[in-house]
Structure 1
Amino acid sequence: MLHRDLTFGVFGKWLHVVDDQERYPPLFGFDQLFGGPTVKFLLLLSLQARCINISNEVLTLLRDGHVEAAAARTRSLWEVVVTSVVLVSSREENGWEITDRYYLSTLHEMQKDGFDDDHSPDLADFPGLTEKIRDAWGKEFFDQYGWARPLIPNLPPKARVTFRHLEEVAGGEDFRFLYREFNHAVHSGATNTVTRLDTRRPDINPTRPTADFETTARVGWACTRFSTICLTETALSISTGTSEWDSMLSCWEVLELSEEITEAFDECIGGHSHD
């Protein structure tokens, strides 16, 4: 409900009161390719919607006893949250550069990965765009996370932006231990392979859903905390950018509920969710 309020009640209302020049500033001289605040708000809403979807997936997986799969999806959730918080830093004072760069990185990403989407723009629709981007932002823009390079001013010229850099920009270092922990649910490293083996079990290795209450609570705590960060950052950024504050009361109610949920999860694991 809050996401819908932000989309139609806040962003939608703003769209009707600003002029086209503010709504759709063209990028690199292409009228059909626009950036600015409209793109920023749309990107944040899209990331928040994805955050909601992943959170629902995690809830379903936890209910069914698929704790490892839930941890893997919570790791993905953290990546979405960090990206969202980083994009919040894109403001009128810096020419909306970060969200414009993130948006344009989509075109290169889609071409590189052979991604075909009928309703999304294509590089072929904008002849000369790649060259204009390279001239303006350098070839480093086309690296993974190259869109975020202006946010790391002390990065050596030949170094590449990493997700760790984005975490630092987003102020998410306090949750990195969870990201590293949930990495084991994604990759086939030795730690996960060895710790799954339990000779006390009749089947030695688990092959079915498990009732692991402590891990379930730990993943649930992380998922709730991550999704709340995304919600509040998105709501505050869009409300501030549009001067529409109606959704913030609902946001406060969600925050209070989120706090109750995380406290309940914390009690289940003896207050060790922050270790």
Structure 2
Amino acid sequence: MKHIIFQNKKIFYNTAGNGKPVMLLHGFAEDGNIWKYQFKKLKEKFFVIVPDLPGSGASEMPDGEISIEDCAEVVKAIADAELVSTNENQFTLIGHSMGGYVALAFADKYPGCLNALGLFHSTAYADDDAKKEIRKKGIEFITNNGAASFLRTTTPNLFSEKTKKNSPELIENLVASSKYFSSEALIQYYRAMMKRPDRTHVLQSFKKPVLFLIGKNDNSVPLKASMEQCYLPAIAYIKLFRNSGHMGMWEERKAANTFLLGSLKQL
């Protein structure tokens, strides 16, 4: 793995392949391994960059509280380090869930750096009061019971009922991969997500294509809200996963790869 230094901490990331650059951002309580099926496929046609965001995977957590905007600066630092060796001055940025929040924050500040933006089970809307209450209860649970108990309790809710029945090993794999997370990191990211602003204006002003990958059975990002935001950008590529919850990159990996490859080739 490669790394940069951000706020005196090491932030690690993987790269592979050749061609137009694509960066994939993982979500809350995940690391870059969440993209393992996409990384393997996309690197055949593209130069793929997959970071571990601060406090995730191999990356260290900065001192003090992290913010979504801090993570966007991490993305900028990695892009600056990697694009200098290519003939490209723009890249595609795709984020899953919280990674989508980071992608939107990046697009808000550095729109000229992107040739496309992707929201994979994510939203430009800020947390409403009900969502904030859910996160506050999550913080309380983590404080009282620890990160491992929290993730074992909540992870099954990320998957559709069909996946729970037919592929329970996917849930166990995700639980196992997140067991290293500290309570501090999870709490800081919950607070960061609650504080993030509405960024629907980013979708409205972004002139390049926006990819929306949506789970019909997603409990974290409701279908109605996901579909509504698809009308905001000038150019939208939309994929609806009919058998997925919040984890379409695993639950319907072939469909996800086909859509991503087809969309990215058009850029």
TM-score between both structures, scaled by the size of structure 1: 0.23
TM-score between both structures, scaled by the size of structure 2: 0.24
Which structure has more relative contact order (CA 8 Å, sep 6+)? It is 1
The structure whose Rg is larger is 1
